[in-house]
Amino acid sequence: MLVSWIGSPLFDNPNVNLEGFFSSPLCGAAAKPLQVVHTVKEYREIRNSLKGTVGFVPTMGNLHKGHLHLVKMARERCDTVVSSIFVNPAQFAPHEDIDKYPRTLETDLAMLKSEGCDYVFVPNAREMYPSGIVLDVKEQVGTFVEVKGRSEQMEGWVRPHFFRGVATVVLKLFNIAAPTHAFFGQKDAQQCVVVQAMSRDLFLPLEVVIGPTMREKDGLAMSSRNGYLSPTDREAGLAIFKALSAAEVRFSAGHYGRKELLEVATQAVASEPRVKLEYFSLAHPLTLAELDEVGDDGAILSGAIKTSSTRLIDNFILRKGQKNDLLFVK
């Protein structure tokens, strides 16, 4: 049996160090246990017993306040809250940083428990990819999912494998978790559009809910990769927020053209010599088609930079007459 309960003597996962966990303020004696599940079979037994709505927050772990805000949204809206922690190999290319990706399971579980999450699915790669998984797309075997027309641009320009891996693992997790609602953060705007398109095209019986980008006090978008940043890199990484902010100011003044908005953003990044610009994009919020001008549907202004070896992405939603706003509909 591979089910465990955080907050009870039955927690028996040998891979998690719980020293000091039960004395933590996050783990009061009267708190509801967080049940940790490691296999599809065990989770499905639990899911069959659940009544009402189920909110699902998929993650790769190394959680921050942005993840917890999504859990809070799910808690407010749904009867049961389920999360997952799985570092998905299909999202990484052979040259990328999967081995360096932070694994902070003990802390992650404590954080999920603090926000009232009921269940967390923590599978291994063999459980999620029964046919096996390698990082080289050309050598992969098994079933994979592609969302054509929304995966090739923006982040897809730089990471052409990425959304194939995202769509595949998200569909697997949806099929396992069987949620009525799934919660994603706007910081990964293109991912939100890809998941919404996949859910619509494949007639998935759930609602995709988008939560706002959560930011540090200085504006830096919260991200699991921020932990890679040295103090110097973190300071330099603010360039992307400053660039998007400068373009938003120009947009708010009535300038809607692509050329002017991207030039403003590009110039702002150019003033920070410690970062390398990868791209800026001005895209339609549903189709992700690149726009010559922001229209009545608004636009996603997004970009990516690299500081030292760390990539940072961010985006603003541009909408006439409104500040940076959520702009996603099914």
> Can you give the chain as a three-state secondary structure string?
CCEEEECCCCCCCCCCCCCCCCCCCCCCCCCCCEEEECCHHHHHHHHCCCCCCEEEEEECCCCCHHHHHHHHHHHHHCCEEEEEECCCHHHCCCCCCCCCCCCCHHHHHHHHHHCCCCEEECCCHHHHCCCCCCCCHHHCCCCCCCCCCCCCCCHHHHCCCHHHHHHHHHHHHHHHHCCCEEEEEHHHHHHHHHHHHHHHHCCCCCEEEEECCCECCCCCECCHHHHHCCHHHHHHHCHHHHHHHHHHHHHHCCCCEHHHHHHHHHHHHHCCCCEEEEEEEEECCCCCCECCECECCEEEEEEEEEECCEEEEEEEEEECCECCCCCCCC
Q: Return per-residue pLDDT of the chain as tens, 330 residues.
A: 334 344 333 333 334 444 344 334 444 334 579 999 999 999 999 999 999 999 999 999 999 999 999 999 999 999 999 999 999 999 999 988 788 888 999 999 999 999 999 999 999 999 999 999 999 999 999 999 999 999 999 999 999 999 999 999 999 999 999 999 999 999 999 999 999 999 999 999 999 999 999 999 999 999 999 988 999 999 999 999 999 999 999 999 999 999 999 999 999 999 999 999 999 999 999 999 999 999 999 999 999 999 998 999 999 999 998 776 665 544
324 part of a folded domain: no
327 part of a folded domain: no
102 and 231 co-located in one domain: no
233 and 258 co-located in one domain: yes
Across-strand partners of 57? 83
The whole-angstrom distance between residue 117's C-alpha and the CA centroid of its chain comes to: 17
pLDDT for the residue numbered 244: 98
201 and 286 co-located in one domain: no
288 part of a folded domain: yes
pTM for the complete prediction? 0.88
45 part of a folded domain: yes
251 and 183 co-located in one domain: no
Question: Domain with 276 in it: what CATH number?
Answer: 3.30.1300.10
Q: How many CB atoms lie within 10 A of CB 251?
A: 22
Q: How many CB atoms lie within 10 A of CB 267?
A: 12
239 and 286 co-located in one domain: yes
CA 195-201-202 angle, 5° bins: 90
110 and 193 co-located in one domain: yes
Of 211, 242, 264, the last residue of a domain is 211
Across-strand partners of 69? none
Which residue range forms the structural domain that includes residue 43? 3-211
207 and 228 co-located in one domain: no
Question: Domain with 15 in it: what CATH number?
Answer: 3.40.50.620
275 and 146 co-located in one domain: no
Rounded Cα–Cα distance for residues 141 and 131 (Å): 7
- The catalytic residues are 67
The two three-digit tokens of residue 104, written as one number: 């902070």
164 and 292 co-located in one domain: no
133 part of a folded domain: yes
Mode of pairing for the β-strands spanning 310-318 and 299-307: antiparallel
Counting the structural domains of the chain, the total is 2
CA 163-169-174 angle, 5° bins: 120
205 part of a folded domain: yes
218 part of a folded domain: no
167 and 231 co-located in one domain: no
274 and 142 co-located in one domain: no
326 part of a folded domain: no
207 and 237 co-located in one domain: no
The two three-digit tokens of residue 97, written as one number: 């940083």
pLDDT for the residue numbered 258: 98
Across-strand partners of 281? 302
Contact 74, 116 (CB under 8 A): no
Of 144, 176, 211, the last residue of a domain is 211
Rounded Cα–Cα distance for residues 317 and 325 (Å): 6
Of 160, 182, 211, the last residue of a domain is 211
